[in-house]
Structure 1
Amino acid sequence: MASPLLIAVLSAAVWVVYKLLNVGKREQSLPGGPPTLPLLGNLNVFPTAYAHYKFTEWAREYGDIYSLKLGPQTAVILTSMQACKELLDQQSAITSDRPASWMVNATSKGLHLALTRYSDTWRTLRKVAHSILTPNAVVAHQPIQVAEATQLMYDMLHSPEKFYTHIRRYSTSVIVSVVFGKRCPRYETPDVTTFFELVHISELCFEPGAEPPLEHFPFLHYVPERWARWKRLAKALNEIQIKMYMGLLDECEERLRNKQGTGCYLENVIEKQQEYGISREAVAYLGGALLEAGAHTTSAFLHTVIMCLIAFPDVKKKAQEEIDRVVGEDRTPRMEDFEDMPYVRALIKETHRFRPVAPLALPHALTADVSYRGYTIPKGTIIFANTWGIYHDPEIYDDPETFKPERFLSSEYGVKPGVSDKDFRHTLVFGYGRRICPGMHLANNSIELNVLNFLWAFEFSPPTDPKTGSYLPVDTWAYEKGVLPAPLPFPCEITPRSASKASMIDSEYLAATEAFSKFEHHLCEEDKEWLKATREKH
């Protein structure tokens, strides 16, 4: 007869085997999805690059809401505006968390506005961000945006072969100016090169699969750093964040002490720091989060615009005909011109649809169980909003793989005739629910201003084959990996549309010197010499 101890041991073993066999198994209460394997669930087929393509492929097979099992973790993918609106917007009180992440805590101590968990810390940071990023505040910072956009035209006029990095300089300088009060006159400016090094490391840290499932396998915390790539990446990102963001905050505080304030956003936060109840470190990371959210995404969007202008010359021609009618030859574009250009507005909307800068947004997580469409989605589930899949759904958009601004002239949201657009909104590309990007007004101004300038000032053409003289094809699918994929560098021929426009660009750049001046403290000697030589040249 078996002893009680043996029975207990066998019972425990059976229980452990039973539990292990159920790890990775999809619960009946969840939406369907790809077949699972024991222990792994769908980890064996989970895409580690360009996940939005695979998620969209699965959406066509399993519907606009389906689930994946990532070992013991559950993920739900939403690929319709109805599902995103009803879950992420209308139930934002319980769908605004972020997935638990060792990487987020290790790199920013939970102080990163976009990545931190749904908590009192996040609510405080969000309150501060919304208090400084008001539409009125954005209007107050238009002069530096206009001046920086003028320099971007100037840079593209005089060294068009460097247009890719000129755009990156522009987007970084605008955000560093309005957030930290200091501009970046060259791509080689240390703050710009450091920032894009930071972006590169950040993409490695947060791409799918970079961080092992530490929450479910805590013993991995004890793996030595030399064998744990994720620990080395986190350490490298944390070091560069502290170096850049604390350094920029130091300079901002010094200007305030010296009565050299620029009116930048963080000056307001510093002066009200006690009222807001946030630490100095939190102030620096708030500024850093705004920089990360604005600089990389804006440059990626503007690169995509140029890619589309050279890939679809008929679109470029129609947009330039419209801007020529409104602006003419005797002046540069102004922000108020934008309202008189329906085709250019449609071009921008179509760029957002065609190649969204955040094709999967950033994942949400549930803070409580949710009942939806007869399913029970448990607390802690990761929610992916598949923006790419929504914007490329052939049931919603006619010929979605074609770049066609006209769709937004016949329909406010570009959808096919007879398709309901009641759940759509134009801010879709800026996120969902309470996690919507607080800097979207600033970003929209940069996008609109520069698209107007590009179309007014330049001809964009694909490179030519030196042997045949024919245009070389443009690869509109060549994008970086990561959560915020940008176009890979691509060749492009850029020339001024007329000599008079080139002359106006030079004049406008010199006239912008006064707008730049208050943001040119703490520049390195190389920047100062470059500015002096550039301005004296004219």
Structure 2
Amino acid sequence: MAPTLVYVSIALTALWAIAFRKRQHYRYPPGPKSLPIVGNILHVPTGHGWITFRDWARQYGSDLLHFHGLGMHIVVVNSAKAAKDLFEKRYINYSDKEVSTMMLQVAGPERNWIMMPYGDEWKEHRRLFHQHFRPGSVSQFHPKQSKAVRRLLNLLLDSRDDFLPHVRYMSGSLILDIIYAFDVQPDDSRLALVEKAMSAGEEIVKTGIFLVDIFPILMYLPAWFPGAGFKRKAAKWKALVDDMYEVPYGLFKTAVNEGGAQPCLTLSLLSEADTTDISKLEETFIALTGTAYSAGSDTTAITITTFVLAMILNPEIQAFVQEELDQVVGNDRLPVMEDQPSLPRVAAVMHEVMRRYPPMPLATPHRSTTDDEYNGYHIPAGSMVIGNTWAILHDEEVYPDPFSFNPKRFLSEDGKLRDDVPLPTETFGYGRRICAGRYFAMDALFLAISSLLAVFNIEKAVDENGKPIEVKVEFTPYVFSQPKPFKARFKPRNPGAESLIRSAALADA
């Protein structure tokens, strides 16, 4: 028997003994019928699980679902009420994070502070980050957000069909500009470096559960040991992730020492720091700045890509928003953040994109720190507790006809944003672990959406014969769910649009 199978057999035998020894029986939330030893872990869907979880919640008539096996308990939260009750009202018990063993080996919580256990260290990272990204502070980033959007518009003029690389460039370059004041071009090696690190994270997500996630003891195997291929992969991916954190920060510190650093988040952190223990603080700053890129770049790019898809599929909505833009902004300038209160239709489209197609349909797992009871159900300490964002944002009692793309659901009869329809804040997470950069992200999305619709008609791309290329609505089944690649055509709306875009881009050169 191969050595790896020996370890697995021993572990399974131990788990069998634990599972069948005399113990107290609890009333867990409902879920599929379990199997011997493995429980119902094999029932957990590996793709588009948010839909399956929603269907099971209806089948069992419960806001919560429960899965268990191999020593693990998983609870899926499928309603806004249950999410609020657990993640917000009982935040002390549900603010910890659950991270897979494989992910910890590649990007542990000492660097990615979003993964940190709930405690003083996490609170300090959150405090430092929040003071720069709270609602009253994000306006400092508006000039750089506007510059990134104007560059996107200019790139789309030159390559109007293959837009996906331009959206990723806009998102990634904006984050690097905010963090380090790096003014990167599409072929910049600094941008390529962080893109490689992000692709490593995507590979982990696509692979799913590694054997070491089920049997963490395997992490102590040497990399050369049969069956320890996961360890060799982890070492390769970790090198990329470490470079993403360390190389840009090192380049920035060189600029600081040479007197060439420009105003940015990292410079603000350094200037406000107590230099008596700068080595410890620098590790904190590396964690803050590196995590800002990994957390913000992908979700912004996915949401803009999804917006483009929605506009192709709903040209009447596009025209509806452009009518408002023409009245408020006109044709001789681009939208600015100061226009936001006068553009409720733009805001409604932004909210509906996030509601209908949340980039993370299942939130990153929280972890319960103590035993809990909810609606008569037992939630054991150490349970992985997951918010089903997709199910919450497709609740027909809150959002009638939830599968239609209808931004008007957020608008009153007089065209203003309604205050009786919940905004899709679940897109950004839950409780104390909600995304600290959400205000920055929403400002960037507003500028991108309003600017794209102000100067372009977004249409189906055409083939060499001038025939429209049909667009399929297909989304990837992973943690980050995004449209599968498609082409779009960005057609200037009027004769002055091109010159407006060129002059705006020239002003940023």
Normalised to the residue count of structure 1, the TM-score between the two structures is: 0.84
Q: 34, 53, 56: which is aligned to 1:55?
A: 53
Structure-to-structure mapping, 1:231-270, within 5 angstroms: 231-270=231-270
Measured against aligned partners, the alpha-carbon deviations of 1:11-49 in whole angstroms (never above 9, x if no partner) come to xxx9986534479x9953211111111111122221222
Residue type of the partner of 1:129? F
What is the match of residue 453 of structure 1? 451
What is the match of residue 523 of structure 1? none
Q: Tell me the CA shift for residue 257 of structure 1.
A: 1.8
Residue type of the partner of 1:205? I
Structure 1 stretch displaced more, 343-352 or 367-376: 367-376
Q: 395, 405, 428: which is aligned to 1:393?
A: 395
Q: 334, 337, 340: which is aligned to 1:335?
A: 337
* 1:230–1:54 distance in 2 versus 1, CA, 3 Å: farther
Contact 1:52 1:360 in 2 (8 A): yes
* 1:258–1:328 distance in 2 versus 1, CA, 3 Å: same
SS in 2 for 1:499: coil
What is the match of residue 188 of structure 2? 189
Measured against aligned partners, the alpha-carbon deviations of 1:366-406 in whole angstroms (never above 9, x if no partner) come to 11112211222111011110000111223332221111111
Structure-to-structure mapping, 1:140-289, within 5 angstroms: 140-186=140-186, 188-207=187-206, 209-212=208-211, 214=213, 216=215, 218-219=217-218, 221-222=220-221, 224=223, 227-274=227-274, 278-289=280-291
* 1:159–1:347 distance in 2 versus 1, CA, 3 Å: same
Residue type of the partner of 2:202? E
Measured against aligned partners, the alpha-carbon deviations of 1:53-86 in whole angstroms (never above 9, x if no partner) come to 2222222212221211142211111111100001
Normalised to the residue count of structure 2, the TM-score between the two structures is: 0.89
Q: Tell me the CA shift for residue 272 of structure 1.
A: 4.1
Structure-to-structure mapping, 1:519-530, within 5 angstroms: none
Contact 1:42 1:71 in 2 (8 A): no
Measured against aligned partners, the alpha-carbon deviations of 1:109-156 in whole angstroms (never above 9, x if no partner) come to 322122222233322221221123233432112111111111111111
State the distance in 2 between where 1:206 and 1:167 align: 22
Structure-to-structure mapping, 1:505-516, within 5 angstroms: 505-513=501-509
Query: Highest CA radius of gyration, 1 or 2?
Result: 1
State the distance in 1 between where 2:80 and 2:260 align: 47
Q: Tell me the CA shift for residue 182 of structure 1.
A: 0.8
Contact 1:41 1:68 in 2 (8 A): yes
Q: 346, 357, 360: which is aligned to 2:362?
A: 360
What is the match of residue 86 of structure 1? 85
Q: 5+ unaligned residues in a row in structure 1: which ranges?
A: 1-13, 514-538
**Percent of paired sites with the same residue:** 28
Contact 1:104 1:116 in 2 (8 A): no
What is the match of residue 316 of structure 2? 314
What is the match of residue 521 of structure 1? none
Q: Tell me the CA shift for residue 359 of structure 1.
A: 0.8
State the distance in 2 between where 1:183 and 1:26 align: 61
* 1:368–1:257 distance in 2 versus 1, CA, 3 Å: same
Q: Tell me the CA shift for residue 463 of structure 1.
A: 2.9
What is the match of residue 37 of structure 2? 39
* 1:355–1:501 distance in 2 versus 1, CA, 3 Å: same
What is the match of residue 408 of structure 2? 406
SS in 1 for 2:45: coil
State the distance in 1 between where 2:15 and 2:190 align: 53
Q: 368, 382, 385: which is aligned to 1:383?
A: 385
SS in 2 for 1:184: coil
Count residues in correspondence. Answer: 490
Q: 5+ unaligned residues in a row in structure 2: which ranges?
A: 1-12
Measured against aligned partners, the alpha-carbon deviations of 1:310-339 in whole angstroms (never above 9, x if no partner) come to 011111111111111111112221212221
* 1:81–1:414 distance in 2 versus 1, CA, 3 Å: farther
Q: Tell me the CA shift for residue 470 of structure 1.
A: 5.6
What is the match of residue 475 of structure 2? 479
Q: Tell me the CA shift for residue 408 of structure 1.
A: 1.2
State the distance in 1 between where 2:185 and 2:42 align: 47
